[in-house]
C-alpha cells in the first residue's frame, strides 16, 4: 500500500492511469468518481513512469501516448463498462459566471459526457478534487480546467483499501447532496419504469446489460464483448477502437443498439422488443425502420455534442498510420 506525492508535471499521467482502466480489469463492476470544482477537456498523457509500471498494457494494449479527457472517459466506459460519476460546480454560477468562455466549453463537455452515459451532478460548495477508481485515488488542490491545471499544483496518490473506502464514502455523500445534471443521472435514479428521454450512452448500456441476461461474465468482460461484436472490428487495441468510434459517434451508438435488438432468432428478438417496450414504451412492429424512428424520437439530443478526438498513439505500436 503506497501514498505518493504527485508533482504538477505528472498529474496528467496519473489521471490517465486511472482513466485508462488500468487495474480496473481486476474489478467485477468498475466505477470511477471524478470530483472537480472546474472541468474542461484537458489533455492527458502517458509518461515514462507509467510505461515502466506496465509497458505491455500502456504501450501495447492501450497504445495511447496522449488523449483528451472526453475520449479517455468514453473509452473506459465502452471497454470496461465503467460507471462514471462526475461532480462539479455549475459553470454559469458563482465566480465562474465572469468566465463566459469557460462556461461555454464546460457545458459542451458536460453535455457530451452526459450523452455518452456519465452520471453528472452539480454542487456549488465543491472545493477540492478527487479522482477515484475501485483501487486507485488521486486527490489534491488541482482541478480539471486548463488555467488551474497548468499551475504549480500537486496531488496525492494512494491505493490503500481502507483509504479508498473512506474516499468512496465521501464521493457518495457529495453525490447525495448534489443536483443531477442532464438526462443520464435522472434516468439512473428515476422511479418510473419508462424513460421519457434517453441519452445514447445510457441506452447503449441498458441494451448491453440486456444482451447478457444470464451470462457468468463480469460487467467489464461482457462490455468488451458487446463492443467488439457491434463496432464491427476485431482490433484488441484500444487506440484503434476509440478512433473508429470517434469517426462517427452518432452512427456507432445507433448501429450497435439496432444490431443488438434485431440480431438473433425470432424468440430472442421478441424478448428484445418486450424489453424495449418496458424500458421506453415502444408499441410498434418489429421492423428496423420503425424502431430506428422511435429511438431517434426518444433520444435526448439530436446529435452527440461536438468534441474532436485528440489522440496520439504510441509511435512504435501505432495501428493507424
pLDDT at 231 over 70: no
Q: Quick one: pLDDT band at residue 319, thresholds 50, 70, 90?
A: very low
Cα–chain-centroid distance for residue 41?
Answer: 13
Q: What are phi and psi of 46, to 5 degrees?
A: -85, 150
For the segment 135-141, the average pLDDT, to the nearest whole number, is 91
Per-residue model confidence (pLDDT) at position 21: 86
Structure confidence at residue 122 (pLDDT): 96
Average pLDDT, the chain: 85
pLDDT digits (tens, 9 = 90+) for 147-187: 666 677 889 999 998 999 999 999 999 999 999 999 999 87
pLDDT of residue 2: 81
Residue keyed to cell 453525490? 175
∠ CA 250-254-260, nearest 5°, is: 150
Is it the case that residue 265 has pLDDT exceeding 70? no
> What domains appear along the chain, each with residue ranges and CATH number?
3-188+305-317 (3.30.870.10), 191-298 (no CATH)
pLDDT, tens only, 63-103: 999 999 999 999 999 988 899 999 999 988 755 556 677 88
* Closest alpha carbon to 31 in 174, 177, 200, 164: 164
Distance in angstroms (rounded) separating the CA atoms of residues 265 and 242: 30
Residue 284 has pLDDT above 90, yes or no: no
- The pTM for the full model equals 0.91
* pLDDT at residue 320, rounded to an integer: 47
- pLDDT score, position 40: 93
pLDDT at 148: 61
pLDDT (average), residues 303-307:
96
User: How many angstroms separate the CA atoms of 298 and 283, rounded?
Assistant: 13
Q: What is the pLDDT of residues 174-220, one digit of tens each?
A: 999 999 999 999 876 554 556 778 999 999 998 888 877 655 567 77
- pLDDT (0 to 100) of residue 318: 46
More confident residue, 225 or 1: 225
Q: What is the end-to-end Cα distance of the chain in Å, rounded?
A: 40
Amino acid at each position: 500500500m503506497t501514498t505518493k506525492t504527485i508533482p504538477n508535471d505528472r498529474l496528467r499521467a496519473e489521471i490517465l492511469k486511472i482513466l485508462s482502466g488500468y487495474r480496473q480489469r481486476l474489478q467485477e463492476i468498475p466505477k470511477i468518481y471524478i470530483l472537480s470544482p472546474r472541468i474542461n477537456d484537458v489533455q492527458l498523457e502517458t509518461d515514462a513512469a507509467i510505461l515502466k509500471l506496465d509497458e505491455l498494457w500502456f504501450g501495447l494494449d492501450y497504445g495511447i501516448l496522449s488523449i483528451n479527457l472526453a475520449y479517455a472517459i468514453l473509452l473506459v466506459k465502452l471497454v470496461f463498462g465503467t460507471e462514471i460519476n462526475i461532480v462539479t460546480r455549475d459553470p454559469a454560477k458563482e465566480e465562474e459566471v465572469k468566465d463566459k468562455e469557460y462556461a461555454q466549453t464546460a457545458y459542451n463537455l458536460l453535455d457530451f459526457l452526459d450523452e455518452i452515459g456519465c452520471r453528472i451532478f452539480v454542487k456549488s460548495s465543491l472545493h477540492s478534487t478527487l479522482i477515484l477508481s475501485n483501487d486507485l485515488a488521486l486527490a489534491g488542490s488541482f482541478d480539471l480546467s486548463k488555467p488551474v491545471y497548468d499551475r504549480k499544483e500537486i496531488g496525492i496518490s494512494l491505493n490503500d483499501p481502507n483509504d479508498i473506502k473512506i474516499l468512496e464514502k465521501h464521493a457518495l455523500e457529495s453525490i447525495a447532496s448534489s443536483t443531477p445534471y442532464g438526462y443520464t443521472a435522472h434516468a439512473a435514479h428515476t422511479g418510473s419504469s419508462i424513460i421519457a428521454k434517453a441519452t445514447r450512452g445510457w441506452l447503449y448500456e441498458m441494451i448491453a446489460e440486456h444482451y447478457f441476461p444470464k451470462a457468468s461474465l463480469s460487467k467489464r468482460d461482457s462490455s468488451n464483448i458487446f463492443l467488439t461484436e457491434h463496432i464491427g472490428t476485431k482490433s484488441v487495441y484500444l487506440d484503434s477502437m476509440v478512433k473508429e468510434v470517434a469517426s462517427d459517434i452518432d452512427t456507432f451508438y445507433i448501429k450497435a443498439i439496432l444490431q443488438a435488438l434485431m440480431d438473433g432468432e425470432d424468440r430472442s428478438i421478441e424478448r428484445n422488443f418486450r424489453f424495449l417496450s418496458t424500458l421506453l414504451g415502444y408499441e410498434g412492429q418489429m421492423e428496423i425502420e420503425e424502431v430506428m424512428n422511435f429511438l431517434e424520437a426518444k433520444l435526448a439530443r439530436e446529435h452527440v455534442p461536438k468534441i474532436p478526438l485528440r489522440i496520439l498513439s504510441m509511435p512504435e505500436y501505432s495501428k493507424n498510420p
